[in-house]
Structures are given as structure tokens and as C-alpha cells.
Homo-oligomer: A and B are copies of this chain.
Amino acid sequence: MKSSMQALVAVLALGACASSGHDSARDTLPSWNDTDSKKAIVAFVERVTNKGSASFVPVPERIAVFDNDGTLWSEQPMYVQFAFALDRFKALAPQHPEWKLKEPFQSLLAGDMKGFAATGEMGIAALVMATHTGMTVEEFNQVATDWITTAKHPRSRKLYTEMVYQPMLELLAYLRANGFKTFIVSGGGVEFMRPWVERVYGIPPEQVVGSRGKLELEMRGGKPVLVKLPVIDLVDDGPGKPVGIQELIGRRPIMAFGNSDGDLQMLQWTTAGSGPRFGLLVHHTDGAREVAYDRESRVGKLDKALDAAKPYGWTVVSMKDDWKVIFPK
């Protein structure tokens, strides 16, 4: 992790004042094989940053949006935020004896994941409400920060933040060096991501779009606090992604990166705009170095969006063939 972060910082420093013009492509994206995917990315970036090109895009309009789970970091065997919710549930259970008597908590306490799955969307919603609400945003920020800096992936035993994709870190830095503003647009909770994405991806909190609950201002001891209410405000997934983009960014991106059917509408919305547009899907094809999954997967299902790639002209990255390395060294 450390050496890749240093490389990232170096690229950022080089790019800090390069808000126009474009980087040399020679040493760009070192973890990408020299295949069609890399060529398509570089060709697009050179086209929109070349002042002489008819496809030139001014810096303020260079907005690039990235899904998080499965696009910037691993989402198998379960969404990281789900692992967080389960750990949080266990930590809170002793204070909630009433959970023993009602679903989906009963199943979860018994470690019965099939029973939990049978409670469906309502069960997931109840788990999210029980673990993500009823506290202030600053309290939740602290809980999320504590968890993400210590929790380990069940198989690799690495920190989750070490299971980000090195080629995507390079891509984020490459785009920023070419005047792009990079945003996360994730189905994950916005308050869960904001505490760590700046350190890990170089993306500041104000450039994170995610699912969210309602907030309410209260005065406590003469001081204002923002309390997380158990009311869903936006599910930033599928058709919710263009909504989240419009609410928080207010203009249509020119590049969009995803990996699942939850990103279909984000890629459609991005690439349906006028002028040069770029859509890309990360296809999890590497069972040896990561996990191979697509159409039948419970997590990160890629089916309709994969079929849409060809008619829409989106680039499909094969992790096996296009990436030299998957994770930071």
C-alpha cells in the first residue's frame, strides 16, 4: 500500500498545475497491459484535452464518476458495508435484548444467514437502520473510521482498504492530472465512505455521492448536532445514480466507470449526453487473482449492463487480460 500511495502522491504533485494540456501517455497507467482497454482510455483523454481537437472539453466539464464496490475495491464475498453492518450489529446487540425476539435480528444473532436472507429487503433495511442511525453524523464518522482502519477481509486477511484496485488508483490519478474532477457514485452509504476515501482514493468527501438517510438538526447542550434518522432519503443505485449525480454534481459527467447492473443507468445517463462520452465496465474475469463472476452473481451481478456495452460503445475491461496487477503491492 505504501509504495502505491507514494506513486499516487508523485503523480498528483506532477499534475497539480496541469489543469490544461495532457500528460504523456508513456509512463501512464503502469499496471495496465497495453491492450485495447488502456488504448481506449488514453485515446479519449488525449482527444478531450487537446485544445486543437474538435472534441476538446474545457476543464470544468471534465467530470468522471466511479462506482465503488467492485469498481474501485473488492465486493466479494459480500459488500464491505454489509460486513461493517454485521460487526456493528454484534457490538450493539448486548444493549438490545429486544432483538432476541424479532426478525431479522433473531436470525442474525443465531448466525442463521439463510434465515436472514429470507427476511428480504425489509431485513436488510432493518439491519441498516439498527446499525447506521440514531446517532450524530460525527459519532457515525468515528465508528466507521475505527472499523475501516482495523477490520480485515475474511479471506485475504488484509485491510479492506488494501483491497482496492491498483490499476484504478492509477486511472484516478491519471484523470486528475489531466484536469478531471473525480467523483464516487456508489450504492454504498455516503457517510460510510466519506471518512476514508480521501486517504485511499484522493477523493474528498464533497465528491462522494452515495445512498443516504434523512438528517435532522438538533440542539444538544446548546450545540447543534446532525442526527441520522431511520428514514431512507436516496438509494443511489440503478436509476438512483443519475438522480444522485444531478443532486450533488448538477451536471452530466463525460466519463463513467462501473462494474454491475447497478451502474447501467449511470453509464446510460453519462454516455447519452452530447459531445465526447466514455463508459467503461470492469468485468471480473480473474478467478485466480480475484474472483470471477458476472451474470449469476448475487453480489455485483453484471448481466444487462454487459449486454448493453456493445450497442452503447462502452469499453469492457477484462481484469485477467487488461490488468498486470490487481492489488497494490
Contact = CB atoms under 8 A, between A and B. Distances in A.
A181 interface: yes
Interface stretch (A35-43, A91-99, A145-153, A202-210): A202-210
5 contacts: A205-B249, A205-B251, A206-B250, A206-B251, A217-B242
Interface string A173-192: 00000000100000000110
A60 B194 CA distance: 13
Contact of A242 (B224, B240, B247, B269): B224
A16 B16 CA distance: 10
Given A206-B251, A239-B217, A272 B212 contact: no
Interface residues of A, number: 38
A80 interface: no
A269 B206 contact: no
Given A60-B204, A243-B216, A251-B206, A224 B17 contact: no
This chain: copies in complex: 2
Interface in A70-128: none
A4 interface: no
Contact of A206 (B17, B191, B198, B249): B249
A268 interface: yes
Contact of A269 (B224, B233, B272): B224
Contacts of A208: 250
Nearest to A218: B239
Contacts of A265: 217, 224
A191 B268 CA distance: 22
A11 B294 CA distance: 51
Contact of A247 (B16, B212, B217, B224): B212
A47 to B, nearest CB: 23
A297 interface: no
Contacts of A212: 247
Contacts of A226: 242-243, 246, 269
A294 to B, nearest CB: 23
A217 B243 contact: yes
A198 B60 contact: yes
A28 interface: no
Given A60-B204, A205-B250, 7 more contacts: A194-B250, A206-B249, A216-B243, A217-B239, A217-B242, A224-B268, A233-B233
User: By CB atoms of chain B within 10 A, which of A191, A198, A206, A242 has the most?
Assistant: A206
